[in-house]
C-alpha cells in the first residue's frame, strides 16, 4: 500500500500463512458473515496458497449509529491518509518559513510569502499528480469545490477544504450472456 494505496489487495498471496486443512476452510457464506463482522477474509487455492479475498476495516456505522460503508474497504482510509500526507509534505517542504498574506497583496519579488491563491494552485497541481498515479479522478470537480482561505480568527493560519474523488476498486464484474442455438 505504500506504493499505491488505492490498489485493491484481493488475490495477493499471503506469504508464510499456512492454509487450514480442507475440512476447516470457510465456505463462501461463512466468509461473507465474517466480512459483515469486520473481519477480512482469504481464500485457499488448490495447491494450498492463501490469498487475500477482501481486506476491510472495522468501520461499519457512522457517529449516529447508521450503517455506513464509506470507510469499509481498507483502501479508502489508506488513500485519504496518503493524500493528506502528500499535501502536508508538499507544503512544509516547499514553504517551510514563509509569511502568509492575503490574495492581492503587493509584495516585492523574492519575498518568502504565500497566499491562499498560491496554495490553491499547489493543491491543484498535486491533485493532477495523484490523478496520474491513479489515486483520484475528476480534476474539474475537485477544482470547483476546493476552498483555500485564511482563518478569520487566526490570521497566521491557512485553511483548506477539499473533496478528493477517489478512484474505486474493480471488485465486481457482471455480464449477461444471451446465446442462440
Per residue in 66-88, pLDDT (tens digit) is: 988 888 889 999 999 999 999 99
Cα–Cα distances in angstroms (integers) from residue 110 to residues 99, 104, 114, 125, in the given order:
12, 16, 11, 22
Whether the CB-CB separation of 128 and 47 falls below 8 Å is answered with: no
Confidence tier at 89 by pLDDT (50, 70, 90): very high
Domain limits, the chain = 1-73, 75-166
**Rounded mean pLDDT of 133-148?**
98
- Give the pLDDT score at 168: 93
Per residue in 91-123, pLDDT (tens digit) is: 999 999 999 999 999 999 999 999 999 999 999
Higher pLDDT, 17 or 148: 148
Residues in a beta bridge with 13: 51
C-alpha cell of residue 128: 493532477
Q: Is the pLDDT at 1 greater than 90, yes or no?
A: no
Percent of the chain with pLDDT over 90: 74
Whether the CB-CB separation of 138 and 167 falls below 8 Å is answered with: no
Amino acid at each position: 500500500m505504500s506504493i499505491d494505496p488505492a490498489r485493491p489487495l484481493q488475490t495477493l498471496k499471503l506469504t508464510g500463512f499456512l492454509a487450514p486443512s480442507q475440512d476447516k476452510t470457510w465456505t463462501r457464506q461463512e466468509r461473507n458473515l465474517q466480512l459483515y463482522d469486520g473481519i477480512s477474509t482469504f481464500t485457499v487455492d488448490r495447491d494450498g496458497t492463501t490469498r487475500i479475498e477482501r481486506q476491510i476495516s472495522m468501520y461499519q456505522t457512522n457517529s449516529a449509529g447508521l450503517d455506513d460503508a464509506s470507510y469499509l474497504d481498507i483502501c479508502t482510509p489508506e488513500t485519504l491518509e496518503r493524500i493528506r500526507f502528500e499535501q502536508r509534505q508538499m507544503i512544509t517542504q516547499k514553504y517551510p518559513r514563509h509569511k502568509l498574506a492575503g490574495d492581492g497583496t503587493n509584495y516585492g519579488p523574492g519575498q518568502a510569502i504565500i497566499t491562499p491563491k498560491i496554495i490553491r494552485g499547489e493543491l491543484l497541481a498535486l491533485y493532477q499528480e495523484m490523478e496520474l498515479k491513479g489515486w483520484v479522478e475528476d480534476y474539474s470537480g475537485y477544482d470547483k469545490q476546493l476552498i483555500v482561505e485564511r482563518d478569520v480568527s487566526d490570521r497566521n493560519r491557512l485553511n483548506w477544504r477539499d473533496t478528493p474523488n477517489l478512484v474505486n476498486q474493480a471488485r465486481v464484474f457482471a455480464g449477461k450472456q444471451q446465446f442462440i442455438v
